[in-house]
Amino acid sequence: MSQMTYVFGHQKPDTDSICSAIAYAYLKRETGSPETMACRLGPINKETQFALDTFGVQPPRLIKSVKPQVCDIHLNNDSMVTEQNSIHHTMDLIIDNPGRSLPVVDDQRKLIGIISLPDIMHAYSDPFQKDRLMKSRTPFRNILRALDARLIGDEPKGAVKGCVYNNSQLQSDDHLDPEDIVLTTRNDSSRDMAFANGNAYVIVSDVPKGTDISIPDGFAGTTILTEKSPFEVVRLLEQVTPIRQYVNHDTMEFFMMSETLEDVKSNMLSSPHNRFPVVTDDGVVLGTITKSSLLDYHRKRVILVDHNEKTQSINGLEDAEIAEIIDHHRVAEVQTDAPLYMRVEPLGCTCTIITKMYHEKNVPIPKNVAGLLLSAIISDTLLFNSPTCTEQDKKAAQELAEIAGVNLKEYGRSMLIAGSNLGDMTPAQIIGTDRKIFTMGDYKVEISQINTGDYKSLFDKLHPLLDQMQANCEKENADLAILMVTDIVLGGSELLIAGKERHLVRDAFGIEDEDISQFFPGMFSRKKQVVPPLMRVASSEEG
C-alpha cells in the first residue's frame, strides 16, 4: 500500500481552506494517487458548514499534528507468544529477536503480559519430575512441536494428564495410568515393555524420518516417533511446559499507534526494557519496536492548500514531507528538504487554481465538488467585491454554478449571510473564525476577518471583542490584533484594534490612538488592503 498523503489548509480554516482540501484530494485520487485524504486543522465555521450541507459533503477529518508517530515506524517484527507456548519455543524466539523479551497475547492477539529472558532462565534449573507436565497443564502440541514428531495412531489433544516415565524405570509387573507417557528408543531391547503397562502414549527416540517401527499387537494408544536422541528428548521435555507461570503481568510497557516518537523516545530512555509491544486502541498487538526502530520511520506526506506559512500550518510541519503547495497568498518562509510541486497564482481564491487544474488534467468536476469550489470563490472574493477578485475567479464561478445547478448570486448571498450572524457568536468565536498570524519585521500581528450581513450586532459586542483581542495578545505574545468585520451590503470593513503597538495601524491607516475602530469603505481584502500597508510600516522601521 502506498503512503497516505494529507491535504489541508491553515489552522483557522475558512471556506476556501476546507473546500480546496476536499476538491484537491478528490483530484489527486482521480489522477493516480488513491491514498490521498482531505483534512482540516480546526473547527468548521457556519459559512463553510452551510456549503457542505447544501452540497451533501461531510467535513474533512480533523488532525492536530503531523509529528512522527508510532504508526509511521516500520513494524517488521511481529513475534509474540501465548501463555500456552512452551519454554523451548519462547526461548528460541527471544534468541532470534533482539530485545530479550516478547509480548504475550490471548487468542485475539490482545496484550496480556510480557516475558523476558530472565523470567524463564530459572526454568532450566528446575528438576524434572514425572508429574511436571501434568501439573503445568502442558499442551500435547508443545511436545509434538519440540520433538518434530510423527504419529502412529490418533493425534493427542488438549493437555497432558499423566506422568512421564522412562522405559528403563519400569518393571514387567508395573501398571500405569492410561494417560501416562513412556519414553523409549528404537534400539531398546526391552522396547515392547513400553507398550505393555496400560499407558496410552509412547515416545520412541532415534527413529529417522522415513523409518517405521513395529507396534506390538494390542496397543491401541498413540506412538510418537522422533529423530531426536534419548538425551535430547529428555532435555526438550523439560522445556515444553507452557510459559504461563513465568509471564509478567504487572510491569508491562507498551505504546499505542497514535503516540508521537518524541514521547516514545522519552519513555524508552527511562525504561529498563529493550523491546516494547505496539498495540491498537483495542489492545491488539501489531508488533514490537526497539530503540533502533526510532531511526526507521516514514515522515508524513502533506499537501498544503490555501497557505504556505509555517505559523499558519499544522504542528509538526517541520517533521513532515511537504509534497505540494497550492496557494494564492504571498510566499513566506517555505523550506523543504527536497524539490516539490508549488503552484502559487495571484488569484482571488485557491479553488480557482484547483478548478483550472481539473481542466488541465481533463478530470470532470462532480456536481458536489463544483458546489464547494464555487462556495470558496464566493467566500474569498466576497461575491466578487474584493479587490483580490480577478476575471479568472469570475469565469470559474460562472462555470461552477452551472455544474452545481445554483443561481450564483442568490446562493452567494445566502451562504455569506448564513455564516455571519454575529449575535449568536461569542467574541472568541468571532475572532477565531478566520484568524491568521503574520510576522512583520520585529512584530507579531494577528489579523482576523469575518464576513457578515449582520453588521449592527458588532457594536453590541464591541468592548467584549476588544477585551478578547487584548487577552489573545497577552496570551500569545502578539504585538497587535486587528479584527476586520466585512459587510458586502455596506461595501466595506470595520477595523477593530487592540495591542501595545497601535502605532502600526496609525501609520498605515490613519487610525488615531484614541480610536478603537474605524470603518473603511471599499475595504474587503486582508491580503491586499490590510497586510501590505502594515508590512511597509514595519519594514520602514527596520531601516
Helix H, strand E, coil C: the string for 501-536 is CCHHHHHHHCCCCCCCEEEEECCCCHHHHHHHHHHH
CA distances from 477 to 135, 309, 398, 500 (A): 69, 18, 43, 10
pLDDT given for residue 148 in this prediction: 94
Calculate the dihedral angle through the C-alpha atoms of 215, 221, 226, 231, rounding to the nearest 10 degrees. -100
Spatial CA neighbour of 54 closest among 43, 65, 46, 42: 46
Return phi, psi of residue 204, to 5°. -110, 120
The whole-chain average pLDDT of the chain stands at: 90
Q: How is residue 333 written as a grid cell? A: 518562509
Whether the pLDDT of residue 498 is over 80: the answer is yes
Q: Is the alpha carbon torsion for 284, 287, 288, 289 positive or negative?
A: negative
Phi-psi bin for 479: left (phi > 0), alpha (psi -120 to 50), beta? alpha
pLDDT given for residue 248 in this prediction: 85
Whether the pLDDT of residue 18 is over 60: the answer is yes
Whether the pLDDT of residue 332 is over 90: the answer is no
Considering only 188-197, 228-237, 299-308, which range has the smallest mean pLDDT?
A: 188-197
Encode pLDDT of 224-236 as tens digits.
999 999 999 998 9
Encode pLDDT of 143-186 as tens digits.
999 999 999 999 999 999 999 999 988 887 778 899 999 999 99
202 pLDDT band (50/70/90 cuts)? very high
Q: Can you tell me which residue has the cell 526507521?
A: 296
Considering only 188-192, 239-243, 280-284, 299-303, which range has the smallest mean pLDDT?
A: 188-192
94 pLDDT band (50/70/90 cuts)? confident
Average pLDDT over every residue of 197-202: 91
Q: How is residue 504 written as a grid cell? A: 502600526
Whether the pLDDT of residue 520 is over 70: the answer is yes
Considering only 45-49, 120-124, 468-472, which range has the smallest mean pLDDT?
A: 120-124
420 versus 12: the higher-pLDDT residue is 12
Average pLDDT over every residue of 326-335: 83
Helix (H) / strand (E) containing 102:
strand 101-105
Average pLDDT over every residue of 334-344: 84
- pTM tops 0.75, yes or no: no
Whether the pLDDT of residue 76 is over 70: the answer is no
pLDDT given for residue 336 in this prediction: 77
Q: How many residues does the chain have?
A: 543
- 23/124 Cα distance (integer angstroms): 64
Average pLDDT over every residue of 374-396: 93
Helix (H) / strand (E) containing 540:
helix 531-542
543 pLDDT band (50/70/90 cuts)? low
pLDDT given for residue 311 in this prediction: 86
pLDDT given for residue 270 in this prediction: 83
Whether the pLDDT of residue 217 is over 90: the answer is no
Give per-residue burial for 141-156: e unless 16+ CB within 10 Å, then b: bbbbbbbebbeeeeeb
pLDDT given for residue 155 in this prediction: 93
Average pLDDT over every residue of 235-251: 88
